[in-house]
Amino acid sequence: MKMRNLLVVSALVLALFLGSVAFVNAGTGNGGTSNFTGRLKAAFERGFKLGVKYNLNQDIANYLGMTLDQLKTELHSGKSLVTIATEHGKTESDLVNFIVSKEKAFLDDALKSGKITQDQYNKMISNLEAKVKERVEKVPQVKTPNP
């Protein structure tokens, strides 16, 4: 009797899980590689942060000779990446070239592993330098605490 109940409960949990996955995929209209492409595009739009496996801000901090916490503090104080880089002896061009090389390497890996198509790769590479330049010049808004 206990074994039968365990099997019934397990089957219900599995059905509920699979149904939830199907519902989420149907609701987003994405699946597989198109979902990756959407996440990749969103990552580019929010500063190229692609999670633990690819932390560009850590790479930038290392490049500038500072810790990630120091970089975050400087950004939260309202400084652009260009201003921070200049304060650490790097030019805007140096910083842009560094970031472009890192991101191009990431995109090369995504292309080789089949996560993006050649067409997607070409589109992302075509305006990569302009996007990076725009990002490093952007001055973040300083958040003020609510009274």
Q: What angle do CA 55, 76, 88 make, to 5 degrees?
A: 70
**Which structural domain range is residue 24 located in?**
1-28
Structural domain count, the chain: 2
Tens digit of pLDDT for each residue in 68-118? 999 999 989 999 999 999 999 999 999 999 999 999 998 898 889 988 899
Question: Quick check: is 17 in a domain?
Answer: yes
Identify the pLDDT of residue 116: 87
Question: Using an 8 Å Cβ cutoff, are 82 and 137 in contact?
Answer: yes
Q: Residue 11 — pLDDT band, cuts 50, 70, 90?
A: very low
Do residues 36 and 13 share a domain? no
Question: Quick check: is 133 in a domain?
Answer: yes
Do residues 108 and 61 share a domain? yes
Question: Quick check: is 143 in a domain?
Answer: no
Question: Quick check: is 6 in a domain?
Answer: yes
Query: For residues 136 and 99, what is the distance between their CA atoms, to the nearest angstrom?
Result: 9
Question: Quick check: is 16 in a domain?
Answer: yes
Question: Using an 8 Å Cβ cutoff, are 93 and 102 in contact?
Answer: no
**In sequence order, which ranges of the chain are alpha helices (DSSP H)?**
2-28, 32-45, 56-64, 68-76, 81-87, 92-112, 118-126, 128-137
Question: Quick check: is 79 in a domain?
Answer: yes
Do residues 124 and 87 share a domain? yes
Q: What is the pTM of this model?
A: 0.61
Question: Using an 8 Å Cβ cutoff, are 107 and 140 in contact?
Answer: no
Do residues 37 and 109 share a domain? yes
